[in-house]
Amino acid sequence: MKELFSIGDAADFVGITRRIILNYEAHGLVFPDVKEDPSGNRYYTIDTLTKIRTIRSLQNLGLSLDEIHGYFDNSNDLLSMVRRLESLRDELNANIKALYERINQGFESMEIITIPPQTVYCRKTESDSIVEKTNLLRAVALEALQNYGPAHTGQIYFTEAPITDAKDMSFFAVVPAGSKGEHILNLPAQKAVCLYHHGAYEELPSVHDTPLSYAREQKLTPVGIFRHCYLEGPPQHKDKSKFITQVLLPLACSK
């Protein structure tokens, strides 16, 4: 028995509970290498412990136990799984960046990023009041959710307006890829100058000169709009100084 480990040892090795291992067994993912009797003690080899740790790692990445089962028996589309993990990675990176922005450290104030392709629900209207803009964005978010369901990646809500006319607003809510409808747009990937603003929405126009100046210095050509992605706002904070908005200046493709 020296080369075998009890279920308690296995749980300690991976940092999980005995119940989780039993759940893995119920899903056919692992089996005891030795079982003394139908209701007796279970023992596992180091190979099985390693497999249990792999299962836990994949589960922590967001894969279901059924997906993990398919991974081990090669019945899943591995390319689809890779793309899902890449999407999870991108979302994790975005959340990490948002947290760094929350504590106001760790990233330069200005950078060039690639906005990923997105499927969005879009409504356009003129608006000048911050309160009205906020209410319109809420309405668009609700319409998108009711008609198309939730999207789980990317910046969920944002607005766009021409550099020269901030009243001519477009309101966007990200929807699941493949959505179809009158107000659905498929936005391509696009380079943009990016900065993060900490403070009230009323202050946003005052920060626009910064990315515009940066674009001129770097000899970059804006497409003529600003995009505001709302990371943290009224749903999270009553204090407007704690709002975080990603300000993007989309750029024309270089030839």
pLDDT tens per residue, range 94-138: 766 666 665 654 444 688 999 989 999 999 998 888 889 888 988
Q: 13-27, 74-88, 128-142, 221-235: which range is least confident on average?
A: 74-88
The CATH number given to 111-250 is 3.20.80.10
Top pLDDT among 253 and 98 is at 253
The pLDDT > 90 percentage for the chain reads 39
Asked if the 5-73 domain carries CATH number 1.10.150.530, the reply is no
Mean pLDDT of 61-89: 79
128, 183, 129, 116: which is closest to 155 by C-alpha?
116
> What pTM does this model have?
0.62
pLDDT of residue 103: 63
Maximum Cα interatomic distance, the chain, rounded to a whole number of Å: 78
Q: 1-15, 76-90, 139-153: which range is least confident on average?
A: 76-90
pLDDT at residue 140 above 50? Answer: yes
The pair of structure tokens assigned to 129 is: 């009041």
Domain boundaries, the chain: 5-73, 111-250
- Whether the domain at 5-73 and the domain at 111-250 fall into the same CATH topology: no
